Amino acid sequence: MIDYHVILTVRERKMKEIWKLKLKWDENLPKDILNQVKKWLEQLPILAGIKIPRCLNLSSNGIKRLTLHVFCDASKKAYAACVFLRVEYEENVFVKLIQAKARVAPLKDITIPRLELLACVLGTRLAASVKNDLNLPDVRIYYLTDSMTALAWI
């Protein structure tokens, strides 16, 4: 199975790699990078097959509690955050991914803890956006990260 996130972020990563080469505008790309870009272009049609259910029914019938759960993480190449909505009903629990964003790490080298902090900032912004868009003024939000350094900085 192909990782969709790889297809989605490879363009940015390749552009970063190409910028580091400092090629002139009329120079050809190195063969290895050109082959990777061609492979990426071949995989693009796969994205058309992705179906993401978007319907969200928050009628208040039987809802005990709503919470948002924000996950933030980073690596050398990228950082990301996602927001899940957890709805507790009398009889069961419903959890759904509401929004996610990923960013390629900047061209300038940045430490992993700094990227983790950027992921936390991204997660905070996503949570505020979801809270506002879904009109959930009193919702409790849980932020989760695996970076103790980013937590200490916060």
Question: Which pLDDT score is estimated for 36?
Answer: 84
Q: Place 7 in a pLDDT band, splitting at 50, 70 and 90.
A: low
Q: Place 141 in a pLDDT band, splitting at 50, 70 and 90.
A: very high
User: How many Å apart are CA 121 and CA 59, to the nearest integer?
Assistant: 31
pTM of the model: 0.72
pLDDT tens digit sequence for 57-105: 777 777 889 999 999 999 998 899 999 999 998 888 989 999 999 998 8
Residues above pLDDT 70, as percent of the chain? 92
pLDDT tens digit sequence for 28-50: 888 988 888 888 888 888 878 87
